[in-house]
Structure 1
């Protein structure tokens, strides 16, 4: 009897931030479900800090040169990225050599687009190179044009980019709006496409129907494939019982949030979260709190411990009967809950894609990075939410937050938004289920790996 062919083995290497780890981990679980062996790769500091990697796949450690800290411990952002490239290249090379010598031969490396230097390591071993973009195709296209010198920064006038609507300067990512404030970030994001012609697969956490025109354009420039939405498949299949490793050590918080949500009426409450990095100053935090309070809606607000001091004095006591403020929650579980009626969000891409996948209308308050572009699409292209207006200094008022919440949940505009939200939810789920364009892209990728492994 012939020996059973070994499964293809992929190393999956996300950048060491929550918003990059989550989609790549969810994508990895999808690959594992299709028979691919996956080893997750991260840094020592990241592993010790997050401790939330899936039990369904092994984890290996490389070094970014800052094993006892992360970029915050470097003397500058330039120094961090430079040392990460040197130490990362060296230790990733040693890891591949170790795995190959111990019978766990590596066939492919799926790496975060922010770490373009990984491609040199991949090619030195003649492995399949798959770059993973964790942001929308629209934002990737903007950075592609910036990297090619086709968009002059800082952007001061309307911009026309193939596959996208005409964008105002304030619709562009903050690194492009104001590059002087983010010099290293702009270089890193623009460099994502520097050697894209040498990459075997370009994978993006989006789905075809959502960004059809820009995906078509990008696909003509590179081997671009939409593989999203990269969220836990069980939720998209209406199986919303949490996985064993979903809570990541936060079961008490998860239980308290779910118990509170279970007491609310269907589509009645507001969920507020600005992700793991976005920050508001004290004045904007107070405006947000005022808008939430004056909306008169029950709410669940995630306020990180580092941000709690910015809450208005007495806010927690005054709203205790109406709302709940927590330092963490399982966002996917909250968005999947029938009590949810509106999501006040910074419009990070993971949050946007998750809300879209569960048909949750949004109130967009972008803070930085790609969030401005995502908010533009939420409000004006996909029409599944409203964007909070800001003044000439970019600040918003509590009255506008309140107005948007009430319009989305009670106003005439809200009916159109709800209809669009449900339509996008159905498309997202169809993209992942049988025959969906996103799923077929994953199957195409898996088939190519199987062919390589068995040849």
Structure 2
């Protein structure tokens, strides 16, 4: 009979940018001796099939087993809460009846009702945030009424954070009226009861956000467990862990890597705005002509749903200089010697990946937490620059060209590359040499097993 091991049920919000960090954490917990069950929605599981070869997977329902595409957030979330609570409870009881009782539920902060399920079942719970500590500290201050909306001042001071302009804040804080449903979800719902969780996990590492983590850890059970990048790109402790394990888009890996292999060191500008961001047609045009006018090759990820926004004949006219793909293996791309910089929306996953692999960034934030991440990239970590938009919110082609030149050339570029290497080394050390991230994971595991 198998000796009882601590058993964690891990439940992410069912989009790629939330699943992959939690799946990586699941792999690391399993490596430390914890039994892991990864739960996802029936629709997502049937869509992608196997989530990970090494992790046990079960399903719950979000109430939309045929897919929720096009369903408004204000309709989707209440339905997910009702049906998800019922089916998550059924899953935990099923595992218990089969001799695999759950000791802890680690749930995505977007699913705060999981804490109520855990309490009802007498199971401990940890909330997992896929945003930075800095961003969650901002949301917490707004939720508690310590930062009033709409903002009355052009700048704000929040404990643990550098002085911030309104434009540096997440869009749900700087412009709450633009996205009322999203503002409610991000700023209030996910923060509502997070202090009641047994553990609060952040996909970051201590050296990266030292001041704000130190401030939050005084009052909350904070654990930094990142960067949740596949192990073979960092400390190489988990053998064969080179992929996240899930891709909702099919990467054009062979075409992409073959093309990069033919380019010289630091000669390519990599451009990607993630799996969700949608650029305006005018912004796509300005970016296209800025890339064409630069003296560097470019690799640009343009999702199929966005491709119609490209200027007419742009692909044909830039053949040889650039490669446009519908999706790519981002970690392999960022780790490639030909990549000189990364034009990014500064989503937290992309930011952490570039930082962990030492790639300088040109920040073009679009919405949500991306402006805050861009502020840190530019002013705090100093491993990139922010491309400034005009009065209409468009980053013009000449600005894009100037940013590429600054990052790829000259003294400022050298300093940025030096800082990028420093953060790459610190990210690896956080997992390799007993840094705070690895210690926090081990500490959590030991407490779980002892209980």
TM-score, normalised via structure 2 length: 0.96
Native 8 Å contact 2:231 2:241 kept in 1: no
Q: Closer, same or farther in 2 for the Cα pair 1:261/1:114, shift >3 Å?
A: same
Shift of 1:50: 4.2
Q: Which range moved further: 21-30 or 234-243? A: 234-243
Q: Closer, same or farther in 2 for the Cα pair 1:81/1:421, shift >3 Å?
A: same
Deviations 1:229-278 (A, max 9, x none): 01101110369977478585988721211111111111111110000001
Count how many residue pairs are aligned between Structure 1 and Structure 2.
448
Q: Closer, same or farther in 2 for the Cα pair 1:311/1:325, shift >3 Å?
A: same
Given candidates 192, 202, 205, the residue that maps to 2:203 is 205
Q: Closer, same or farther in 2 for the Cα pair 1:156/1:347, shift >3 Å?
A: farther
Instruction: Map residues 377-396 of structure 1 onto 2, 5 A cutoff.
Output: 377-396=376-395
Q: Closer, same or farther in 2 for the Cα pair 1:160/1:238, shift >3 Å?
A: same
Native 8 Å contact 1:66 1:73 kept in 2: no
Deviations 1:321-346 (A, max 9, x none): 11111011111111111111100000
Native 8 Å contact 1:227 1:442 kept in 2: yes
The match for 1:362 is 361
Q: Which range moved further: 38-47 or 321-330? A: 38-47
2:113 equivalent to 1:117: yes
Given candidates 46, 54, 57, the residue that maps to 2:55 is 57
Q: Which range moved further: 190-199 or 352-361? A: 190-199
Shift of 1:432: 0.8
Shift of 1:183: 1.1
Gaps of 5+ in 2: none
Shift of 1:284: 0.4
Native 8 Å contact 2:20 2:245 kept in 1: no
TM-score, normalised via structure 1 length: 0.95
Q: Closer, same or farther in 2 for the Cα pair 1:377/1:252, shift >3 Å?
A: closer
Instruction: Map residues 29-44 of structure 1 onto 2, 5 A cutoff.
Output: 29-44=27-42
CA distance in 2, matches of 1:416, 1:241: 34
**What SS does the aligned partner of 2:164 have?**
coil
CA distance in 1, matches of 2:295, 2:309: 21
Given candidates 190, 193, 202, the residue that maps to 1:192 is 190
Native 8 Å contact 2:204 2:226 kept in 1: yes
Deviations 1:22-69 (A, max 9, x none): 111111111111111111111122223444611111211111111112
Q: Closer, same or farther in 2 for the Cα pair 1:250/1:94, shift >3 Å?
A: closer
Deviations 1:174-228 (A, max 9, x none): 1111111211211112222222332110000000000000001111121001110
The match for 2:416 is 417
The match for 1:149 is 145
Q: Which range moved further: 164-173 or 45-54? A: 45-54
Gaps of 5+ in 1: none
CA distance in 2, matches of 1:238, 1:304: 31
CA distance in 2, matches of 1:18, 1:245: 10
CA distance in 2, matches of 1:284, 1:115: 33
The match for 1:85 is 81
**What SS does the aligned partner of 2:93 have?**
helix
Native 8 Å contact 1:341 1:361 kept in 2: yes
The match for 1:180 is 177
CA distance in 2, matches of 1:58, 1:4: 16
Instruction: Map residues 223-302 of structure 1 onto 2, 5 A cutoff.
Output: 223-237=221-235, 243=242, 246=245, 248=247, 253-302=252-301
**What SS does the aligned partner of 1:221 have?**
coil
Shift of 1:88: 0.6
Q: Closer, same or farther in 2 for the Cα pair 1:135/1:69, shift >3 Å?
A: same
CA distance in 2, matches of 1:195, 1:91: 21
CA distance in 2, matches of 1:314, 1:57: 45
**What SS does the aligned partner of 2:346 have?**
coil
Q: Closer, same or farther in 2 for the Cα pair 1:187/1:96, shift >3 Å?
A: same
Shift of 1:451: 1.1
Native 8 Å contact 1:52 1:248 kept in 2: no
The match for 2:133 is 137
**What SS does the aligned partner of 1:237 have?**
coil
**What SS does the aligned partner of 1:45 have?**
helix
Deviations 1:98-128 (A, max 9, x none): 1110112111110001111110000111112
The match for 2:9 is 11
The match for 2:313 is 314
CA distance in 1, matches of 2:306, 2:428: 34
CA distance in 2, matches of 1:228, 1:390: 31
CA-atom RMSD in angstroms: 1.8
The match for 2:330 is 331
CA distance in 1, matches of 2:423, 2:413: 15
CA distance in 2, matches of 1:370, 1:90: 31
Q: Closer, same or farther in 2 for the Cα pair 1:238/1:259, shift >3 Å?
A: farther
